[in-house]
Structure 1
Amino acid sequence: MSNIKLIIEERAANIGKFMVGRLLPFRQKRMVGPFIYIDHMGPVKLNERQNFDVLPHPHIGLSTLTFLFEGSIMHRDTLGNEIEIKPGAVNWMTAGKGIVHSERTPEYLRDSPLYMHGLQIWVALPKYLEQMDPQFSHIEEKDIPSWEEGDLQFKLVAGEAFGKKSPVPVFSKLFMLEIKSKTKQVVNIGNELYGEAGLYILNGAIESEGNIYEPKQLLVAKDSSLCEFTIQENSTIYIFGGEPFPEERFIDWNFVSSDKELIGQAKQKWKDQAFDKIKGDETEYIPYPTFNRK
């Protein structure tokens, strides 16, 4: 990107028994468009005695986007959904006024070695939808728009860009693009994007204004309409962002809202275990943490 404003390095964070690389929120940049939280999970190899088990926990005021590169996760929630997330598919869960979900290694893989690698993303909801009824969608990889331009491979994971629209049912104007290249070449996005934009390097590297940027870096642009850079061979990057909201968003643990009172109510409700339970996953849960580290 020819107009890089900020470079955010992945920071190690513990989500229970699993370490991740946290990209957002960041003290100098809390959000990029409506994207408020991004964790890079792995890559990590779990042996036959280890499992990826994120116990039942609640959310309000956001949509979660789970996108795997390797591995498998069984998603369960209080709407009754139970579905296996596989690489390339998009799991899109909208919490609205409140939902509880768990993410675990599927039963048939629990005694086998397993690689885990992917992105866990939160997208804040517009203020008028923060108290909407919860919803859930699962979109298979084959239904995600993908196309090629020369040696570049594009995939529109979510939102709208390049005259295309992903089937992921988003609630604000946003985009999340995957770009892969096997060769070194110039990428000129031109005026195809809007609002704010961030570029995350999964593997490989990009070059901009004589500087080389490598994996585990999130580059935030000054102006998304001036997005031009050189992508190195065998690289995969993600560009995401969109129109920012006029109101500030607050985060407390797994709760997001423009209203601190709603967060306080959700926090007490979880402490009282008054949220709905997940059928088949009722006995365990993640307690509200003593110290909020987000």
Structure 2
Amino acid sequence: MNNTTMLVEERQRDLGNFMVGRLLPFKKKRQVGPFTFIDHMGPAKLFEGSYLDVDQHPHIGLSTLTYLFEGEIEHRDSTGTVQVIRPGDVGFMTSGSGVTHTERTPAHLRNGKTSIMHGYQIWVALPKALEDMKPQFDFYGAADLPKWEENDLVITLVAGEGFGRKAPLRGYSPLFMVDVLAKKATHLYLKDQLKGEVAFVIVKGGITHEGETIEAGQMLISKTDEQCCIELQEGTQVLLFGGEPLEDEPLLLWNFVSAEKEKLQQAKADWQNKLFPKVPGDDTYIPFP
């Protein structure tokens, strides 16, 4: 690896009945563009007694982006939103000044049968000027996303701008998220296609960069947008994240993101004192760790 790239190994952690792999943040790199947190969920088998059940918890200063390859998640939040997110869909909850939400296996999948859950949850930090915006939830079905084939690649623009196209989900600062699947061994040319920092998250298969193979469970970060070409093995699937870094570097405290330490501490106190809005009909509560 040269000094314009970084290689990140996925780190495992528990999420209730679920094991997830955390890719971002890590010690040497806190953000990639406005993306500040990336969790890899699964692939995991769900069955009676091990469904996904993430109880009510809070956020400020960010948007959460949920993108699945397999399985379904029922999202509920304190704005009153109830939405089932399926493979290829994009759920985008913007917390702004404060929101709470839950994530669960939908009722129709709690039937005793085994199902598979696999996807990513990503946090996108809000620009400082928008940290206190009103919370909202946006949903984009898989059929609404730009999708095309070129050079033996199936490319889906999940969010932002890239490859001369625009996704319906634009976000609140210059960013992109792209899903790339290689039908055959081929090359992905990026020169002039994306703007800003770029992270390559290998979902399956492997990519080759400067003679070194990077495999599933790893993330390659390019600190420059001049990266021209990546070699993909047949069947490889890669997610590209990135964009322009925010002017004010975001700080993290548990589920809270802000450019100001005082806001993080206030959010902590508000959650401990149960002052956040609640998900309608839900009395669950995850304590501040």
TM > 0.5: yes
Aligned partner of 2:5: which letter?
K
Task: Please list every run of 5 or more consecutive structure 1 residues that lacks an aligned counterpart in the other structure.
Answer: 290-294
Once the two structures are overlaid, the 10-residue window that deviates more, 223-232 or 233-242, is 223-232
**Secondary structure of 2:129's partner?**
helix
2:52 maps to what in 1?
52
Please tell me whether the aligned partners of residues 18 and 44 of structure 2 are also in contact (alpha carbons under 8 angstroms). Answer: no
Looking at structure 2, the residues matched to 16 and 51 of structure 1 have their Cα atoms a distance apart, in angstroms, of 9
Looking at structure 2, the residues matched to 49 and 131 of structure 1 have their Cα atoms a distance apart, in angstroms, of 38
Please tell me whether the aligned partners of residues 47 and 110 of structure 2 are also in contact (alpha carbons under 8 angstroms). Answer: no
1:14 maps to what in 2?
14
Looking at structure 1, the residues matched to 203 and 63 of structure 2 have their Cα atoms a distance apart, in angstroms, of 22
Query: CA 1:2–1:154 in structure 2 vs 1: closer, same or farther (change >3 Å)?
Result: farther
**Secondary structure of 2:262's partner?**
helix
Please tell me whether the aligned partners of residues 61 and 257 of structure 2 are also in contact (alpha carbons under 8 angstroms). Answer: yes
Cα displacement string for residues 105-152 of structure 1 (whole angstroms, at most 9, x for unaligned residues): 111211332211100000000010011111110100000111111311
Compute the displacement of 1:227 (Å). 3.0
Please tell me whether the aligned partners of residues 97 and 132 of structure 1 are also in contact (alpha carbons under 8 angstroms). Answer: yes
Cα displacement string for residues 216-275 of structure 1 (whole angstroms, at most 9, x for unaligned residues): 110011322323111110110011100001222111110000011111111111101111
Figure out how many residues of one structure are paired with residues of the other and give that number. Answer: 288
2:69 maps to what in 1?
69
Task: Please list every run of 5 or more consecutive structure 2 residues that lacks an aligned counterpart in the other structure.
Answer: none
2:121 maps to what in 1?
120
Give runs of aligned pairs for residues 207-226 of structure 1, distance below 5 A. Answer: 207-226=208-227
**Secondary structure of 1:190's partner?**
coil
Please tell me whether the aligned partners of residues 2 and 228 of structure 1 are also in contact (alpha carbons under 8 angstroms). Answer: no
Looking at structure 2, the residues matched to 105 and 132 of structure 1 have their Cα atoms a distance apart, in angstroms, of 29
1:274 maps to what in 2?
275
2:24 maps to what in 1?
24
Query: CA 1:2–1:230 in structure 2 vs 1: closer, same or farther (change >3 Å)?
Result: farther
Output the TM-score relative to the length of structure 2: 0.97
Looking at structure 2, the residues matched to 253 and 124 of structure 1 have their Cα atoms a distance apart, in angstroms, of 14
Looking at structure 1, the residues matched to 178 and 64 of structure 2 have their Cα atoms a distance apart, in angstroms, of 16
Looking at structure 2, the residues matched to 278 and 265 of structure 1 have their Cα atoms a distance apart, in angstroms, of 20
Aligned partner of 1:202: which letter?
V
Compute the displacement of 1:18 (Å). 1.8
Looking at structure 2, the residues matched to 266 and 70 of structure 1 have their Cα atoms a distance apart, in angstroms, of 33
Looking at structure 1, the residues matched to 172 and 249 of structure 2 have their Cα atoms a distance apart, in angstroms, of 17
Compute the displacement of 1:3 (Å). 7.6
Please tell me whether the aligned partners of residues 137 and 169 of structure 1 are also in contact (alpha carbons under 8 angstroms). Answer: no
Compute the displacement of 1:48 (Å). 2.3
**Secondary structure of 1:7's partner?**
strand
1:233 maps to what in 2?
234
1:292 maps to what in 2?
none
Query: CA 1:103–1:35 in structure 2 vs 1: closer, same or farther (change >3 Å)?
Result: same
Give runs of aligned pairs for residues 141-290 of structure 1, distance below 5 A. Answer: 141-281=142-282, 283-289=283-289
Query: CA 1:170–1:265 in structure 2 vs 1: closer, same or farther (change >3 Å)?
Result: same
1:78 maps to what in 2?
78
Q: CA RMSD in A?
A: 1.4
Please tell me whether the aligned partners of residues 65 and 121 of structure 2 are also in contact (alpha carbons under 8 angstroms). Answer: yes
Looking at structure 1, the residues matched to 229 and 3 of structure 2 have their Cα atoms a distance apart, in angstroms, of 8
The share of aligned pairs that are identical, in percent, is 50
Please tell me whether the aligned partners of residues 17 and 51 of structure 2 are also in contact (alpha carbons under 8 angstroms). Answer: no
Compute the displacement of 1:4 (Å). 5.3
2:141 maps to what in 1?
140
Looking at structure 2, the residues matched to 186 and 161 of structure 1 have their Cα atoms a distance apart, in angstroms, of 17
Aligned partner of 1:227: which letter?
C
Cα displacement string for residues 195-235 of structure 1 (whole angstroms, at most 9, x for unaligned residues): 11110111111112211111111001132232311111011
Looking at structure 2, the residues matched to 168 and 100 of structure 1 have their Cα atoms a distance apart, in angstroms, of 21
Looking at structure 1, the residues matched to 97 and 228 of structure 2 have their Cα atoms a distance apart, in angstroms, of 36
Looking at structure 2, the residues matched to 171 and 286 of structure 1 have their Cα atoms a distance apart, in angstroms, of 28
Looking at structure 2, the residues matched to 16 and 227 of structure 1 have their Cα atoms a distance apart, in angstroms, of 40
